[in-house]
Amino acid sequence: MRILVTGGGGFLGGAIVQQLLERGDEVTTLSRSMHANLQAIGVEQKLGDLGDSSAVRRAVEGCAQVIHVASKVGAWGPSEAFEATNVVGTDNVLAACLRAGVESLVYTSSPSVICSGADIEGGDESLPYPADYEADYPRTKAIAERAVLAADAPGFRTVALRPHIVWGPRDTSLVARVVARARAGKLRRFSGPEKLIDVCYVDDAARAHLLAGACLSGGGEDANRVGGKAYFITSGVPVETWTMIDRIVEAAGLPKIEKTISPRMARLAGGVLESLYRAVGREREPMMTRWVAQELATAHWFDITAARRDLGYEPRVSLDEGMKRLRVWLATAEI
């Protein structure tokens, strides 16, 4: 099957591309720049911005399925940038799919679309979208997810996946940020009771996308069961927030983080930094924001019964095995 992966040069997108090729699919990617790793394995790369509807249409033409991974991720930045990529970009992908007669779309969403700031312990897909969001990333991802699910119809089936904290070798987001800040002595652990969170190794997250796409392909009972729904994707085993961070730091060969800050002070610092950055017009993300403080201070782990039942998803890479792989990569990575 010919499949387009938006953001195929990224961390999760690249893992999806690799698994599609191993399955025997013909893969095309859409990104804003060329990626040497994709060129090396012979992937056709289309260049363009998600906000450019013409570029999106050209990339989608001739594809039977689209896996829409690309998005603007972050806790900070102009609202317009998140809107342009996550909302307008997704609308462009949906319109291009309908125009080209694409059979199905798998959308990479985020559990943050239903996070309200309170602890979530074993929550499932019945959780509602909150009325307000602390940051533009979850707000715009929620808008996009709703649009994707609403577009599901006979002839064009859609599904949204919510992988939580995707990590592993080649991660330039969570792992790179934790290691860089720990190395610079700028990382502080939160005081108070530990909170449980979900994580998802990148290969498991990628495989969930292939499973979802397979369910949608060709219609039938599987497509009817999965189409128009969202699914949490995790390792299935929650871990304490700072245990996860400690293990990443350890894998990088760095000393354990001992200095602490209270969640209340972290949130206060985030608010002050946000105000200061807005005042001086800085686009670079502050060291702390209110949303990041909220995420670090709350529990958020989810029930993946639905993904297991409907998609046939089962996590394969344990935390211990993932850390072994991460340690090997970090030994030579330049981050």
Give the separation between CA 230 and CA 13, rounded to whole angstroms.
Answer: 19
Helices (H), the chain: 11-23, 36-40, 53-60, 79-82, 89-100, 136-150, 174-183, 202-216, 220-226, 241-251, 263-280, 290-297, 305-306, 319-330
Mean pLDDT in residue range 160-177: 94
Give the separation between CA 196 and CA 20, rounded to whole angstroms.
Answer: 32
The answer on pLDDT for 218 being more than 80 is no
pLDDT in tens, 133-167: 989 999 999 999 999 999 999 999 999 999 999 99
2-171+197-237+300-317: CATH topology is Rossmann fold (3.40.50)
pLDDT in tens, 83-137: 999 999 999 999 999 999 999 999 999 999 999 889 999 999 999 999 999 899 9
Mean pLDDT in residue range 270-299: 90
Please state the domain extents for the chain: 2-171+197-237+300-317
Token look-up 């090997």 returns 328
Identify the pLDDT of residue 76: 87
Residues that are catalytic: 137
Please list the residues that pair with 229 across neighbouring strands: 159
Identify the pLDDT of residue 223: 95
Among 160, 110, 148, 106, smallest CA distance to 300 is for 110
The answer on pLDDT for 282 being more than 90 is no
